[in-house]
Structure 1
Amino acid sequence: MTSSPYFAPVNNSISTFKDNIFEGKVLFCTGGGSGICKGMTESIMRHGANAVIIGRKFDRLTEASRELSERTGRTCIPIQADVRQPQTLQAAAERTMEYFGRIDFVICGAAGNFMSPISGLSENAFKTVIEIDTLGTYNTVKATIPHVRATKGAYVHVSATLHYRGTPYQVHVSAAKAGVDAISNVVAVEEGPHGVRSNVLAPGFTSGTEGMRVMSGNKTNKTEGFSNPLGRFTEIHDVANVAVFLFSPAACYITGQVLPVDGGAEHLRGDFFPYPSSVVDPSSVRKLLKGKM
């Protein structure tokens, strides 16, 4: 008899963790208006925390904060800021302190992505992604670290698995996320003696996100050519569950780590599109490519 492959369930953090483990805590999250970061914010709020979400699009932030507050019964406030501009993050941190009086947890999640070969990638496009992901992470740490020291809190940085191997058309994101991983490691070493922890989450291809839309050419349920030991794409809940764990007292001795949340896909990863034909003839994947910003 032939057995069917295992297909991992999708669990919600409230089925595992107590609902009050973050009572009285405050989360500061860049990129929290949508996608993975919004999902992580919701899960952390469901366990008792209040939150501030930061981004450039105030309309999106306002709607997201309203939804998060209604779903969780906690307070979420939107603050418009650009992670590339340190002064706006400093102002966001100061406003958070005025409103809540503390910052316990920080998610560095602002990111940008698109597909482009190096030969078609402008210097400005490469620089923009580095500024959002890498410099934005640095700026967020700088703006919040005095407050996180005071609460002996923790950082979670959102990275990726793209730079573990060479990923065609992703040189900008690969370089940016490698920098994010390095920043987290240094924060862990420098700030550990002050009681601050720092870890990285590296989601795999995650359903229902902008990154998945970009990588799959708008086909968010595309599975052909995809292999995963646990049988499916990453879900936002999967990443949120790990964020809850990393901020929880259960992870009090975990710092300076990078945790891929990809169902083991990286061990089997091939190319997301045909290789080498897609590199020799970029026109074959033209719909996915954006050469300049």
Structure 2
Amino acid sequence: MAPTAYVQPIVDSTSVFKEDLFKGKVLFCTGGGSGICRGMTEAMMRHGANATIVGRKIERLQQTAKELSAATGQECLPAQADVRQPASLKEAVAKTIEKFGRIDFVICGAAGNFLAPISGLSENAFKTVLEIDTMGTYNTIKATIQHVRASKGAYIHVSATFHHNGTPYQAHVSAAKAGVDALSAVLAVEEGPHGVRSNVIAPGPIDGTEGMDRLAPKGIDTAQLHGGYPVGRQGDIKDIANATVFLFSNAASYITGQVLPVDGGSEHLRHQFMPYPQMVLDPKSLSHMIKARM
């Protein structure tokens, strides 16, 4: 019988970290209405933080805020804003200060993505992703920095691993996330003397997220495409949540300006999502595998 790989367990943060770790603290999270950022927010709330979640769809935000408050016993404020519009972000920050009186932690998580080769990627589509990811991160920093300085708090920016090595059909996201990584590094250096830390979490493939639903090939075993994972499984939102709790905790007080891939080691295998070079030479032949429009 062939040997099988060990599978690392999925762990809930409450089994590792103190439940009142962030008591009295406040989180401000863009993109918190769903997916990874919702999971990050829930983890922070389960450890005592109150939170503001920011996004464009107020109905989704209101429903998510209600669910998060019920699940954690903490307060969650929904605030409608577009990260591309500095004025709306400033308004969301003002509502947070009015409600909670402070901002300790900021998650810059608003993002956009789709599959498109450079040859088929319009200038406007490229610009839009940079506006959401890179400019959105910058605008969020600008809107919150005075409050994070006052609380000696910290930032986490949600990036990706696409730009760590060339990933076909991801030029727009690769450029945008490289900018996010660079912003975080500068923020760490400039704001460190003011007591502010800044780090990046770069998720790998995370199961059950909108991003994976859009980008993962359908009808194919993604684990096989990636050549498996050194930890024996695909990522879970709780993996990102656990990294979030750690990086915002005092246990990470000496960690700033870093990019932390949370990907089960898959980056080191350097496999593409779809067969290469067929995916770039004859993309139409793989249309049955692609969920998102190119």
The TM-score, its normalising length taken from structure 1, stands at: 0.97
- Give the corresponding residue for 1:274: 275
- Give the corresponding residue for 2:34: 34
2 CA distance for matches of 1:120 and 1:138? 28
Give the superposition deviation at 1:217. Answer: 4.0
**Residue pair 1:228, 1:263 contacting (<8 A) in 2 also:** yes
**Residue pair 2:223, 2:229 contacting (<8 A) in 1 also:** no
What's the secondary structure of 1:223's corresponding residue? helix
1 CA distance for matches of 2:286 and 2:99? 48
Runs of 4+ in 1 over 6 A off after TM superposition: none
Give the superposition deviation at 1:3. Answer: 2.7
1 CA distance for matches of 2:82 and 2:219? 30
Q: Pairwise mapping of residues 243-282 of structure 1 onto structure 2 (< 5 A)?
A: 243-282=244-283
Distance change in 2, residues 1:13/1:112 (3 Å): same
Give the superposition deviation at 1:271. Answer: 1.1
- Give the corresponding residue for 2:293: 290
- Give the corresponding residue for 2:139: 139
- Give the corresponding residue for 2:104: 104
Count of residue pairs the alignment pairs up: 291
Give the superposition deviation at 1:83. Answer: 0.2
- Give the corresponding residue for 1:128: 128
What's the secondary structure of 2:140's corresponding residue? helix
2 CA distance for matches of 1:192 and 1:220? 45
Identify unmatched segments of 5+ residues in structure 2. Answer: none
- Give the corresponding residue for 1:242: 243
- Give the corresponding residue for 1:116: 116
Q: Pairwise mapping of residues 52-201 of structure 1 onto structure 2 (< 5 A)?
A: 52-201=52-201
2 CA distance for matches of 1:63 and 1:90? 22
Distance change in 2, residues 1:277/1:250 (3 Å): same
The alignment-based identity, stated in percent, is 65
- Give the corresponding residue for 2:24: 24
Give the superposition deviation at 1:278. Answer: 1.0
2 CA distance for matches of 1:193 and 1:41? 27
**Residue pair 1:206, 1:236 contacting (<8 A) in 2 also:** yes
The TM-score, its normalising length taken from structure 2, stands at: 0.96
**Residue pair 2:152, 2:195 contacting (<8 A) in 1 also:** yes
Give the superposition deviation at 1:277. Answer: 0.8
1 CA distance for matches of 2:116 and 2:127? 14
Bigger Cα displacement from structure 2, 215-224 vs 155-164: 215-224
Give the superposition deviation at 1:218. Answer: 5.4
**Residue pair 2:217, 2:274 contacting (<8 A) in 1 also:** no
2 CA distance for matches of 1:261 and 1:169? 22
Give the superposition deviation at 1:22. Answer: 0.2
**Residue pair 1:213, 1:220 contacting (<8 A) in 2 also:** no
Per-residue Cα deviation, 1:220-272 (whole angstroms, up to 9, x for no partner):
97433222100111100000000000000101111000000001100012111
Root mean square deviation, CA, Å? 1.3
Give the superposition deviation at 1:28. Answer: 0.1
**Residue pair 1:53, 1:65 contacting (<8 A) in 2 also:** yes
Give the partner amino acid of 2:4: S
Identify unmatched segments of 5+ residues in structure 1. Answer: none
What's the secondary structure of 1:22's corresponding residue? coil
2 CA distance for matches of 1:221 and 1:235? 17
Give the partner amino acid of 2:271: G
